[in-house]
Amino acid sequence: MQTTRIMAAVANVWRQPRTLPIDTSAIANAGLQAWLAQLSDAETVKLERENRIVTQALFNDVFLVERFVDGWAYGYVASQRDDHHLQGYPGWIWAAQLSTVPLPIQTGPTVTIRRGFTPLLKADGRTLLRLSLGTELPVIGSKDHRYYTVQTPLGVAKVAKRATQFGFKTANLTRGATLVRLGETFLDLRYLWGGISAYGFDCSGFVYSLHRCVGIQLPRDAQDQIDKGVAVEREAAQPGDLCFFAHDHGQGAVHHVALYAGDGWILHAPTPGKHVTYLQLATTYLQDELVAIKRNW
Tally the domains of the chain.
3
State whether 199 and 279 are in the same domain: yes
pLDDT for 235-269, tens place per residue?
Answer: 999 999 999 999 988 789 999 999 999 999 999 99
State whether 284 and 194 are in the same domain: yes
Torsion of CA 201, 187, 165, 204, to 10 degrees: -30
The single-letter DSSP state of residue 103 is: P
Tell me which of 99, 131, 149 is where a domain ends: 99
State whether 245 and 191 are in the same domain: yes
> Quick one: pLDDT band at residue 140, thresholds 50, 70, 90?
very high
> Quick one: pLDDT band at residue 106, thresholds 50, 70, 90?
confident
Does some domain include residue 105? no
User: Helix or strand or coil: residue 95?
Assistant: helix
State whether 152 and 236 are in the same domain: no
Tell me which of 99, 127, 156 is where a domain ends: 99
User: Helix or strand or coil: residue 27?
Assistant: helix
* Separation of alpha carbons 110 and 142, rounded Å: 11
State whether 231 and 252 are in the same domain: yes
Does some domain include residue 114? yes
Does some domain include residue 104? no
State whether 181 and 283 are in the same domain: yes
Residue 105 scores a pLDDT above 80: no
Domain with residue 81: its CATH number is 2.30.30.40
Tell me whether residue 255 is one of the annotated catalytic residues.
Answer: no
State whether 179 and 273 are in the same domain: yes
> Quick one: pLDDT band at residue 2, thresholds 50, 70, 90?
very high
State whether 33 and 63 are in the same domain: yes
Supply the pLDDT for residue 15. Answer: 97
Nearest 5°: CA angle at 102, between 96 and 106? Answer: 125
Supply the pLDDT for residue 84. Answer: 83
Domain with residue 284: its CATH number is 3.90.1720.10
Does some domain include residue 84? yes
Percent over 70 (pLDDT), the chain: 100
List own/partner pairs for 119-125 with CB under 8 A and 24 or more apart: 119/159, 119/160, 120/59, 120/150, 120/152, 120/154, 120/157, 120/158, 120/159, 121/147, 121/157, 121/158, 121/159, 122/157, 122/158, 123/156, 123/157, 123/158
State whether 189 and 257 are in the same domain: yes
Percent over 90 (pLDDT), the chain: 90
State whether 191 and 287 are in the same domain: yes
pLDDT for 163-210, tens place per residue?
Answer: 999 999 999 999 999 999 999 999 999 999 999 999 999 999 999 999
Supply the pLDDT for residue 192. Answer: 97
Does some domain include residue 125? yes
pLDDT for 8-17, tens place per residue?
Answer: 999 999 999 9
Tell me whether residue 256 is one of the annotated catalytic residues.
Answer: yes
Residue of 84, 255, 268, 275 marked active site:
268
74-78, 178-182, 280-284 — which is least confidently predicted?
280-284
Tell me whether residue 249 is one of the annotated catalytic residues.
Answer: no
Residue 162 scores a pLDDT above 90: yes
State whether 50 and 94 are in the same domain: yes
Mean pLDDT on 229-233: 96
For 28, 37, 60, 129, 175, the CA distances from 190, given in Å and listed in that order, are 20, 11, 25, 22, 25
The residue segments making up the domain with residue 120 are: 110-164
User: Helix or strand or coil: residue 267?
Assistant: strand
DSSP-assigned letters across all residues of 156-206 = EEEEEGGGGS-SS--TT--HHHHHHHHHGGGTTPBP-TT-EETTEE-HHHH
Per-chain mean pLDDT for the chain: 95
State whether 121 and 184 are in the same domain: no
Supply the pLDDT for residue 181. Answer: 97
pLDDT for 15-37, tens place per residue?
Answer: 999 999 999 999 999 999 999 99
Does some domain include residue 169? no
Tell me which of 59, 74, 99 is where a domain ends: 99
Residue 62 scores a pLDDT above 80: yes
Supply the pLDDT for residue 246. Answer: 95
Residue of 203, 211, 213, 243 marked active site:
203
Name the residue among 75, 51, 54 with its Cα closest to residue 63. 75
Does some domain include residue 209? yes
Residue of 211, 213, 243, 256 marked active site:
256
